[in-house]
Amino acid sequence: MRLRRLRPLRSRLSVDGALEASGSDPKHFQGDPKPSCGRSRPADRDHGRRICQWALVPANLYGGQLDDAREAVRQLMAVLDRELDPFFLALTAGGAVTIHLDEPQTAARYATTALEVGGPLNNPTLDAWISWAEGCRSIATHHFDLARAQLEHSAALASETQNPHIEGMAELALALAAGITGSADAVTLYRDALTRFQAARDWMSLSVAIEQLAIDWSRTNDLEPAAVVVGYLDASGTRYAPVARRRLQAVTAIRAASAGELWMARGGQMTREAVVDFTLDRLRR
């Protein structure tokens, strides 16, 4: 059975739109001064609204809508309270760093907020998340040695708390930093991240990894594998919003090559599993 591809949610549809899309009546999340027996308390319904606001962030982030993802974060941060929602606020602020890598001051502000609010909670998993956010902030400000130390610390904390998702995100950010600086271990870091995501069937993180790798390949003029991966991503409608500008630069370089369109067409015919195997094979050479 073929599954229908869903269009990404857009933050401009509003939270009420997200609630309606999920089959919920937005009126049920408005709060009720006289809650009746068996119904959610107003605070619970407010929490449901915040979850819907949170859902709009990755929906736009992984749908290629950078401005909408940033607006969703801004709206969510505006309604979260430092005293009542410190964990959720720190989580949101930390996640916001990665969608502002091209705006170092904004990335630094979100990372600082995550540390100020989340640090005192002494939550090991949140500490790993905050360290990852700080590493991403250091990438944005081009402090790559500091980024490596912060991201390695994040990965170690995530491993101790048995959180493979954050550990994988730290490894992917390490690969990004290594690729930007031309570090000798970039290939190993990308290979390890891809292998991890493939084994965990974490397709969302895996698609981000191969997109970043394709961009790195195009920057070093390794255009054939870059074109194959970009061709697959185009055909599958996969776009990670924070790298949209660099991906466009990669596509421009690919199409300037005489065989660029043919390489992209080849990737466009591949399955997800085939393009991952292709990518890992290139990394092992």
Interval 126-151: pLDDT, tens: 999 999 999 999 999 999 999 999 99
Per-residue pLDDT at 37 exceeds 70: no
Report yes or no: 284 and 194 within 8 Å, Cβ to Cβ: no
How far apart are alpha carbons 103 and 101 in whole angstroms?
Answer: 5
Q: Please compute the mean of the pLDDT values over residues 118-127 and round it to a whole number.
A: 96
CA–centroid distance for 164 within its chain: 15
**Which residues, 6 or more positions from 58, have their beta carbon under 8 angstroms from its beta carbon?**
69
Per-residue pLDDT at 88 exceeds 50: yes
DSSP classification of residue 52: H
How far apart are alpha carbons 43 and 29 in whole angstroms?
Answer: 9
| Kind and range of the H or E run holding 217 | helix 203-219
Per-residue pLDDT at 174 exceeds 60: yes
> What's the angle, vertex CA 209, arms to CA 204 and CA 215, rounded to 5?
130
How far apart are alpha carbons 27 and 4 in whole angstroms?
Answer: 29
Q: Please compute the mean of the pLDDT values over residues 184-198 and round it to a whole number.
A: 92
**pLDDT range class, residue 52, cuts 50, 70, 90:** confident
Cβ-count burial of 89 within 10 angstroms (0-12 exposed, 13-18 middle, 19+ buried)?
buried
Instruction: Sort residue 40 into left (φ over 0), alpha (ψ -120 to 50) or beta.
Output: beta
**pLDDT range class, residue 1, cuts 50, 70, 90:** very low
Residue range 205-225, pLDDT digits in tens = 999 999 999 999 999 999 999
In which residue are the tokens 């107003």 written?
A: 42
Q: Report the percentage of the chain scoring pLDDT > 70.
A: 84
More confident residue, 59 or 227: 227
Per-residue pLDDT at 35 exceeds 80: no
**What pLDDT does residue 46 have?**
67
How far apart are alpha carbons 89 and 114 in whole angstroms?
Answer: 7
Average pLDDT, rounded, for the chain: 84
**What pLDDT does residue 227 have?**
97
Q: Per DSSP, which regions of the chain are E strands?
A: none
